[in-house]
Amino acid sequence: MLSVATDAINDQPARAARLVEEVVGNAWATDAAGRFLYATPGVLGLPAAGWEVPDTNPEDPALGWKPLLHPEDYEAAAMSWRQSLQTGHAYDVTHRLRAADGTYRWRRCSGRPVRDAEARIVGWYGAVLEREALHDRERELAQLVDMAPSHVWRLTPDGEPAFFNRRMSDYLGPEITSGPPVGLEALLAAVHPEDAPAFRTTLRRSLATGEPFALRYRLRRFDGAYRWMSSRAEPLRDHAERILQWYGVCHDIDDQVRAEEALRLREQELERLVDAVPAMIWCLSPDGQPSYYSEQLVRWLGMSVEDLDHPRTTRLARAAALLVHPADSRDVHAELARCVRTGDPFLCKCRVRRHDGVFRWMEGRAQALRDAEGNIVQWYGVLIDIEELMRAQDELRGRERELSQLVDMVPSQIWRLNPDGEPIFFNKRMVDFLDMQVAGTGRLQAVIDSIHPDDAARFEAALHQSLATGEAFAMQYRLRRADGDYRWMSGRAEPLRDERGRIVQWFGLSHDIDDQMRLYADIAEREARIRRLVDSDIIGIVIWDLDGRLIDANDAFLRMIQHDRADVTAGIRWFDITPPEWQEVHAREEAQELAATGKMQAREKEYFRKDGSRVPVLIGAACFDGQSRQGVAYILDLTERKRVEAAVRDRERELSQLVDMVPSYLWRITADGMPVFFNKRLVDYLGLDVSGADRPGKSRLAAITEAIIHPDDSATVAAAFERSLASGERFSMNWRMRRADGVYRWMAASAEAMRDQAGRITQWYGLCHDIDDQVLAEQTLRQSKQQLEQMIDAMPINILSFDPSRRLTYASRRYLDTVGPPGPIRDFETLARDVAHPDDLPVMFRRALDGFRTGLPFVNRFRRRCSDGVYRWIEARAQALRDADGQIVQWYIASIDIEEEMQAQEALRERERFLWQLVETLPAMIDCTAPDGEPVYRSQQLRAFLGYEPEELTGTDGPRLMQTLDAGVHPDDLAAVRKDYARCLQTGEAYARRHRLRRHDGAYRWVETRAAPMRNADGAIVQWNVICLDIDAEVRAQEDLRLAQERLARAGQAASLAELSASIAHEVNQPLAAVVWNSQACQRWLAATPPNLDRARTTVERIIRDANAAADVVSRIRALFRQAAAPRHRGSIGDLVADVGRLLGDRTAQTRVGVTTDVAADLPAVPFDVVQLQQVLVNLMRNAIEAMEGQAPEPRLGIRAVRDGAAVRVEVSDNGPGVPHPEKVFDAFFTTRPTGMGMGLAICRSIVESHGGRLWVEGNELGGATFAFTLPMEAPEPP
């Protein structure tokens, strides 16, 4: 900066500026209008270099100052500046100016105008001067001192007042403070005359010694009123420790002092009152430390508050340690500490140590006293001796507890759950309660549904929690009884685990705690009520006089007796509120006591309320000291205490009654086995009390046992008792117990141990039910059951019975012998699965379940496994036994062994199945019909052949037999078949016939049908059995054979003799061989010795016969082929036709050709060669049949023989395709068939013509051809 300045030093104005800056300090210049022309940096709090003249606003010259000045000072400065600019007077203002660091400092700023020659102002120069620092402080302190909410003053070292602040000046008024200095005496004159000496003395001492001055005194205000002041002063010394000044301060504490005064007065009054009251009262400081014990309390404790002081501990801790029973000490201390902390009223019952060292039960109550701001000022407490009360209550409670335990022995609800929580058992009490059987599904939900809606969710959650975690379940809930009432239950459940720790099931127990819950509710309510009473300051306090008037009473007392304050004002006398029976006591004892001692010990009595009802109270009283006519009484309302007592007493009585009234015999024995209690019922029954059988030298248990237990049972009873007492296990057995009249009755006895918290047995509680009637009934029943069982066992059937839930209740001896004991199996399902054959189980089981569900009797046949492991067929019949209301009581199942029967049936069935298969698979069609011929059964083969089922024939179209025949039998055979059937059905003859039967595809096949009747023992026909063999193939084979023969025959027609020799040879060789062998035989007979002539003759006759036969054959063959004139005989054409018809019978039948023969009766005999004409006729007929074969749907062959003039005409007609070339057919070697030789008709014509006849052919009108030939009656002359 220096170098910069040096550089600029040559510049004249700059030098001037530097001069100004360094010498003058802070200077500034403006123009005439007040606009800044120049300012040293100091003005702006800026460094010397780089500053800038603040821009000024031409309208307002003061604005140039604005950024420089403290905002508070600106207005005043601006006004002065504007004034100076206007008037030309010098500007001189003290204000705060902004420094470089941003803080404001007080500065004096002055400026003067610069005038030109005409004295016109051309500009302004000014300077800013530092003010001295003290000026600032003085100003600040003055403000502080004047504004402080206290009187502040200063004295000279010799005590003369040198300064009063404004507040003090205002207080004292102008007479004293106007015109300083104020003399000390003037000040003293303002002090209250009573305080002035002390003031003077104290001040003088301080002035003399230099000690600080402190004093409370009354100071007169300007208006003449004295007010309390608290004044303090201290000296200011120089470094030589000489006092320079006294500085003092003086607070107005008038209100405080007056409040203190009032409080002190009140405290004194209370203390007096409290000491007078015969109650033990104590006070605690706000932090809970004992601060006051009433006289009574001190006397009672033998110790005062001050005795509690101890260097190492607090009063409270020491009081708790010394005075409170060690067992209660901690609780009391904690409770008190809590109340002190929170401000809650304190109430505690504890044992407190009396002066003689005895601990007595006391009830301590305390409440906080608060000031206007709600701060705790003091705790007031009272201590009431409740020893007697507690003792009485303890006694009652103990008795109540015992009795409750006894009552708890009465059975409870017991239930079991499976691990999923589904109930699997309810005891009867629970079943009765819920009116719900455990059997069935969704029982858990049903139980949950029975829980009060308010508890259900909680119950379910707790149960699921327990089920999930295995924690014991315990809760209380309301359960709906069957009659709709909700009752409180205490439910507990614990899991039973197997050896691997898995939960097997849950055992639960529910107590009906509805009564307890209500009692608890009552107690809770009472307790709440007491607490409310306590909370509401329940110590009643009354000021009275000896005339019996109540002078004053607090609200608590008024509440007790339900009077209001107006009544007190009007005048209430003790006499008015004391019941008559207490009045004498009041008059005699209390008055005397008061008169004699001035006090009345606390006692319980009653007062009338305004409404005439009575209120029990505890009252104590004392006369005021010195004012012997008046006194104070404190009254505690004992209504609640009395009520609690009464409730407990009632409860005790109720329980007592309950125990005696329970319809059971209850008893209690000690842990070591000594009977200590019988309930009244038991005493009445036995005719003796618990000690009634005592004998010296014998334990009471033994004596009682001997006296009341049947001699037969006493040993086991004693043993059982001994065992239970030793082990702590529940005791349970039946015994006969002697009644007072000497009769023994059966009892079901049980006992359980009650244990204390440490698990030690404290008592045994026992219960006896009279079960005599039941036992007798059971015995009777058992006898009856035995008889029945014997009866059942004697019967050859097995009997089982099941209860309605299908649990096995009985199995007869025979069943056990046969099947074996069912073991642990109890339910029907498992038993069935165990013994029934798996193949039979499903059906058997379904039927059984249907039966069980519907209640209808059912029968099952199934294989059951016997004890030897073999399955045998049985028939089991089940029937339900119902009670009078129709409810099923029991299911009885009786089973009989039907193994043999089933085996026989099985064999039969097997045989039937075998036969059936045989029938169905036989390659024959089998048909069974009813006696009237209606179809009953058709075998598979027949059905397949016919192509329809017999059921498809409806009964409306006539008898089904006839339908079958009409549809199936060939029309040509139908009439005959129907006729035969009719005859057989009528007569019962067996039937046999060949006919054609239509197959399902429409083809007719030859069948041979045979039918035979099946008769019963009486000979009546029960069924026709029909077998129908398909012989079509056989028939066709025969046809084929015949065809072959015919082909041979036809071949023979035109073949040479040699070709035919083979067949002819056989014809001839037979007779020839016979001739040879007969001849040789004859030769033997003749050669024998002696010759056997008879046999020789016989053989010779045979030789002649056979030789002729052979010759016949040979000549006929020759005649045929050589057309040799054979000897012609007159013969009957009718015979000829009949012979040929027979010859071709098989052929016509085979080709299904219908043949009609029409021979006139009056035909004359004509001469003809039989063999030749047979050949002709055979030839013509065969030609006709062959022509129709495959051509005519219904081939018809007609043979007709008529007289034709002098000849006989024979016609052979057919309905074939006819003859296309009538003239050529008779030519040799003409044929229309591939296999024919074309010789037949040529030969025929030559044969006919050799007989003098004619052979021709003509067409029929309806199609087909007719071949006709004639034979003249007279033979022609041989050619």
Partner 1 sequence: MTAEAPIVLIVEDDARAREALGELLVAHGMRVAVYVSAEEYARAATPTVPACLLLDVELPGINGLDLQAELTGADHPPIVFLTGHGDIPSSVRAIRHGAVDFLTKPCSDTALMAAIEAALAQDRRIRAERAELERLRARYAMLTPRERQVLPLIVSGLLNKQAAAELKLSEVTLQVHKRNVLRKMGADSLADLVRIALWLRIPVTHSRRGKREA
Which residues in this chain contact partner 1 in the complex, by CB under 8 A? 1062, 1065-1066, 1069-1078, 1080-1081, 1084-1085, 1088, 1095, 1098-1099, 1102, 1106, 1109
- The residue among 210, 228, 230 whose CA lies nearest residue 219 is 228
Which two tokens mark 734?
């039946």
- CA 940, CA 849: separation in Å to the nearest integer? 41
Closest distance to partner 1 from the beta carbon of 1029 (Å): 19
How near is the Cβ of 1099 to partner 1 at its closest, in Å? 6
What's 589's DSSP letter? I
Cβ proximity to partner 1: between 787 and 1061 the closer is 1061
Rounded least distance, CB 1258 to partner 1, Å? 43
Nearer to partner 1, 999 or 1095 (CB): 1095
Using the minimum distance from each CB to partner 1, give the nearer residue, 1066 or 1142: 1066
Question: How far apart (Å, rounded) are the C-alpha atoms in residues 592 and 579?
Answer: 19
- Which is nearer to partner 1, 113 or 1071 (by Cβ)? 1071
Stated as kind and residue range, the H or E segment containing 1046 is helix 1032-1054
3-state SS assignment for residue 927 = strand
User: HSE (CB half, 13 Å, CA atoms) of 1131?
Assistant: 17
Nearer to partner 1, 97 or 1082 (CB): 1082
Put the strands of the sheet holding 423-426 in their side by side order: 423-426, 413-417, 503-512, 486-497, 473-480
Report whether 749 contacts 708 (CB < 8 A). no
Residue 1077 CB, shortest distance to partner 1, in Å, is 4
Nearer to partner 1, 861 or 1084 (CB): 1084
- DSSP run (H or E) holding 41: helix 41-44
Q: How far is the CB of 1116 from partner 1 (least distance, A)?
A: 18
CB of 1071 to partner 1, least distance (A): 6
Comparison of 504 and 1073: residue with beta carbon closer to partner 1:
1073
Instruction: Return all residues near 1140 (Cβ < 8 A) that are at least 6 apart.
Output: 1174, 1177, 1178, 1181
Tell me the pairing of strands 413-417 and 423-426: antiparallel
Smallest gap from Cβ 1147 to partner 1, in A, equals 20
- Look at residues 156, 151, 158 and name the one whose alpha carbon lies nearest to residue 172: 151
Looking at the Cβ atoms of 2 and 1062, the one nearer to partner 1 is 1062
In the beta sheet, which residues pair with residue 761? 755
Residues 746 and 770: beta-carbon distance below 8 Å = yes
Instruction: Find the shortest distance in angstroms from Cβ 1048 to partner 1.
Output: 15
In this complex, which beta carbon is closest to partner 1, that of residue 688 or of residue 1086? Answer: 1086
CA 82 to CA 73: how far, in whole Å?
A: 14
**Minimum CB–partner distance for residue 1066 and partner 1 (Å):** 5
User: Shortest distance, CB of residue 1157 to partner 1, whole angstroms?
Assistant: 30
Of the pair 816, 1064, the CB lying nearest partner 1 is at 1064
What is the side-by-side order of every strand in the sheet holding 213-220?
A: 161-164, 151-155, 243-252, 226-237, 213-220
8 Å CB contact between 669 and 675: yes
Of the two residues 492 and 1095, which places its CB atom closer to partner 1 in the complex?
1095
Q: For residues 1012 and 1072, which CB has a smaller minimum distance to partner 1 in the complex? A: 1072
Kindly state the smallest distance separating residue 1095's Cβ from partner 1, in Å: 7
Q: Which is nearer to partner 1, 524 or 1073 (CB)?
A: 1073
Counts of helices then strands in the chain (DSSP H, E): 42, 48
Minimum CB distance to partner 1 smaller for 994 or for 1084: 1084
Tokens of 749: 């006895």
Q: Which of 27, 23, 21, 25 has its CA nearest to residue 8?
A: 21
CA nearest to 1242, candidates 1171, 1161, 1183: 1183
Shortest approach of partner 1 to residue 864 CB, angstroms?
A: 51
Nearer to partner 1, 878 or 1075 (CB): 1075
1163 — phi, psi (to 5°)? -70, 135
- What is the residue whose two structure tokens read 């642990």? 824
- Considering the complex, what minimum distance in angstroms separates the CB of residue 1059 from partner 1? 14
| Cβ count near 1212 (within 10 Å) | 25
Nearer to partner 1, 347 or 1074 (CB): 1074
Using DSSP's 3-state secondary structure scheme, residue 689 falls into coil
CA distance 1276 to 677: 161
The torsion region of residue 459 among left (phi > 0), alpha (psi -120 to 50) and beta comes to alpha
List of E strands, 999-1032: 1004-1015, 1021-1030
Closest CA to 173 of 160, 159, 184, 187: 187
Which residues pair with residue 616 across a beta bridge? 606
The minimum distance between CB 1094 and partner 1, in angstroms, equals 12
Count Cβ atoms within 10 A of the Cβ of residue 454 and give its class: 0-12 exposed, 13-18 middle, 19 or more buried.
Answer: exposed
Place of tokens 């001997």: 706
Measured CA to CA, the distance from residue 481 to residue 1131 in angstroms comes to: 126
Nearest distance in Å: CB 1070, partner 1 = 5
H or E element in which residue 175 lies: helix 174-177
Give the residue from 167, 165, 160 showing the smallest Cα distance to 181. 160
Q: How far is the CB of 1067 from partner 1 (least distance, A)?
A: 9
